[in-house]
């Protein structure tokens, strides 16, 4: 037997955990990476994997393990202005030491430049496997208007919405009248390419609608405005590639007017109920729709699908898909799989196996 091959098979796989990013969700990415790091340090994973951490600062520059580990320990973004020295250029400037030795990447990057297909394209060019969806699924899943178009083409149920280009704000009265006629109040205004409720607002009148449009236009040139519905908010996690597996269905209950950024990421402001207290057939339909949502946008690996449940009619609507969902201790994706019998160490192991 080839002893070098046996030795190679026994060596741990080098995993590159990359986080941070040039995105409004930078801070959440750090918290997600802390949870993944914890999962890779438990159970059988330390023998399976050799973890290397890499940090992308808020200017898009990549940093190696010394900076990355300091960020994970502090759980705060790094001030890399002094570390950058005379090189003040922003964006990707090349790989830090150790990056080219990675066998499999585990991106925990939320928002633009992280879950929109850009870094997935880089990993694909490197011909190195990575956790999560590929370029197409990431890009379509990230852009809410492209996502909704894909859902519509697949015949999946959704709530009423309108697409808005930021340039349309120059015709204020015409735009407001169109949205009021199509959707009424309340309605929600969202940048097309952000997550974690960043840049989203709720409008109950014309003044709030205009303020919400201006806010969203600061983040993106593409805006989606959705009709406010009297619904319960359900979530389902999905795992797999050719064979997709749906988790138990959970529900998010919160003490705010709607599920905004502070409510989502602050202790005690929201309460997950897992499994959701819904009829069995509703839960089964939610799981089926969640899998269909991944197939519609071409996603794989891991995703969380958010659904609306209209209790009076038992109707389910797909709200959106998140192809690189939050992994914090408050995030539904790891909690849903824990409730489905897959604890955190096994979950990150399964995700890496899927990638490889």
pLDDT in tens, 218-258: 988 999 999 999 999 999 999 999 899 999 999 988 765 65
pLDDT at 197: 67
Domain count, the chain: 3
Per-residue pLDDT at 155 exceeds 60:
yes
Mean pLDDT of 206-211: 97
Please report the DSSP string for 266-312 in residue order.
STTSEEEESS-SS-HHHHHHHHHHHHHHHHHHT--EEEEEEEEEETT
User: How far is Cα 85 from Cα 33, in angstroms, rounded to an integer?
Assistant: 26
Residues 35 and 112 in one domain: yes
Residues 119 and 263 in one domain: no
The residue out of 176, 198, 227 marking a domain boundary is 227
Residues 147 and 273 in one domain: yes
Residues 220 and 320 in one domain: no
pLDDT at 84: 65
Tokens of 261: 């950024």
pLDDT at 308: 96
Residues 305 and 211 in one domain: no
User: How far is Cα 62 from Cα 21, in angstroms, rounded to an integer?
Assistant: 9
Residues 14 and 126 in one domain: yes
8 A C-beta contact, residue 57 and residue 77: yes
Mean pLDDT of 12-27: 94
8 A C-beta contact, residue 348 and residue 105: no
Residues 153 and 168 in one domain: no
User: How far is Cα 221 from Cα 200, in angstroms, rounded to an integer?
Assistant: 14
User: What are the backbone angles phi and psi of residue 292, rounded to the nearest 5°?
Assistant: -60, -35
Domain that holds residue 87: 3-130
pLDDT at 5: 43
Residues 317 and 266 in one domain: yes
pLDDT at 9: 56
Residues 22 and 86 in one domain: yes
Closest by CA to 312, choosing from 224, 221, 230, is 230
Residues 56 and 193 in one domain: no
Per-residue pLDDT at 156 exceeds 90:
yes
Structure confidence at residue 330 as a pLDDT band (50, 70, 90): confident
Before 153, cis peptide (omega within 30)? no
CATH number of residue 245's parent domain: 3.30.470.20
Tokens of 255: 């003490």
Mean pLDDT of 189-212: 88
pLDDT at 257: 61
């Amino acid at each position: 037997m080839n002893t070098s091959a046996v030795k190679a098979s026994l060596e741990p796989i080098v995993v590159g955990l990359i986080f941070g990013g040039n995105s409004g969700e930078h801070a959440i990415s750090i918290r997600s990476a802390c949870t993944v790091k914890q999962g890779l340090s438990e159970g059988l994973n330390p023998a399976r994997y050799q973890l290397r951490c890499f940090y992308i600062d808020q200017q898009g520059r990549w940093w190696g393990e010394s900076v990355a580990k300091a960020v994970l320990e502090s759980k705060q973004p790094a001030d890399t202005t002094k570390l950058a020295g005379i090189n003040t250029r922003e964006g990707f400037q090349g790989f830090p030491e150790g990056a080219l030795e990675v066998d499999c990447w585990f991106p925990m990057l939320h928002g633009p430049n992280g879950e929109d297909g850009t870094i997935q394209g880089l990993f694909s060019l490197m011909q190195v496997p990575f956790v999560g969806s590929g370029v197409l699924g990431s890009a379509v899943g990230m852009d809410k208007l492209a996502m909704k178009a894909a859902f519509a083409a697949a015949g999946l149920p959704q709530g009423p919405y309108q697409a808005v280009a930021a340039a349309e704000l120059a015709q204020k009265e015409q735009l407001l009248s169109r949205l009021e006629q199509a959707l009424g109040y309340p309605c929600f205004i969202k940048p097309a390419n952000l997550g974690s409720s960043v840049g989203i607002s709720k409008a109950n009148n014309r003044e709030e609608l205009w303020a919400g449009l201006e806010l969203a236009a600061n983040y993106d040139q593409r805006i989606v405005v959705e009709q406010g519905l009297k619904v319960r908010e359900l979530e389902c996690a999905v795992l797999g590639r050719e064979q997709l597996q749906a988790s138990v269905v959970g529900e998010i209950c919160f003490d705010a007017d709607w599920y905004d950024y502070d409510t989502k990421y602050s202790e005690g402001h929201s309460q997950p109920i897992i499994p959701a207290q819904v009829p069995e057939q509703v839960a089964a339909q939610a799981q089926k729709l969640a899998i269909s949502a991944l197939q519609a946008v071409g996603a794989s690996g891991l995703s969380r699908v958010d659904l609306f449940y209209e209790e009076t009619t038992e109707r389910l609507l797909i709200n959106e898909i998140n192809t690189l969902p939050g992994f914090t201790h408050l995030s539904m994706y790891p909690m849903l799989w824990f409730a489905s019998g897959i604890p955190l160490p096994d979950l990150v192991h399964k995700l890496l196996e899927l990638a490889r």
